Amino acid sequence: MSIAENISNVLKFIPKDVKLIAVSKTKTVEEMKEAYDVGIRDFGENKVQEIQNKYSDFPSDVRWHLIGHLQRNKVKYIVDKVHLIHSLDSIDLLNEIEKQYGRKNAEAHVLIEINIGKEESKTGIFVEQLDNLINAVENCNNIKVQGLMTVIPKGTPEENRKYFKEMKTIFENLSNRQFKNIKMKYLSMGMTADYKIAIEEGSNMVRIGTGIFGPRNYNNK
């Protein structure tokens, strides 16, 4: 199936109030333009370098989402480019974002990434570290947290559901608190294999790569 057909299939399962991010890592500008031509404006990339490479090939109505781990020394390259950073996962990174966005008098929009399955191989903070990070966010001037993101462990649909439910509970709890720099707008969870369950459990932002663009080609970066 073509990219356009894949998108129209995926959209059948996505309610209007859920945002679709087309995850385009390793994909060519030509492939991404097929998605752009059928209306996709939100693209997700894992690497700062890849956003830099592709950025000028698209009109300014494209919204770039950084969904992979962000190294502190790369923050300075994304200040004017990235619409939403999904992967705030440490106070050190927070401080660097504050510094680099402050320099340009810009406001960073970020999601806090939670390692809900407490997997060693994954980035994101543990729930127990959330309050510390929140306190640090509240001391910032150039950062707005707009929600939460997670990549759940691989598992059965029922295991997935449990993690999505836990995320939704955290999201709701934070929604009921008052903050200066934090507003729970986006709950970014669900990928090709599990986005339908994620939406059932309250996701309002899904990140779909393979389901739109087909298998990734890691030789073709």
147 binds ligand PLP per the rule CB under 6 A:
no
Q: Which stretch binds ligand PLP (CB under 6 A): 52-60, 88-96, 130-138, 190-198?
A: 190-198
123 binds ligand PLP per the rule CB under 6 A:
no
CB of 68 to ligand PLP, least distance (A): 6
CB of 135 to ligand PLP, least distance (A): 26
Residue among 133, 140, 182, 208 that touches ligand PLP (CB under 6 A): 208
Q: Which stretch binds ligand PLP (CB under 6 A): 9-17, 153-161, 165-173, 202-210?
A: 202-210
191 binds ligand PLP per the rule CB under 6 A:
yes
Residues 29-88 that bind ligand PLP (CB under 6 A): 46, 67-68
Token pair, residue 159, equals: 């295991």
117 binds ligand PLP per the rule CB under 6 A:
no
Interacting residues with ligand PLP (CB under 6 A): 23, 25, 46, 67-68, 151, 191-193, 207-211
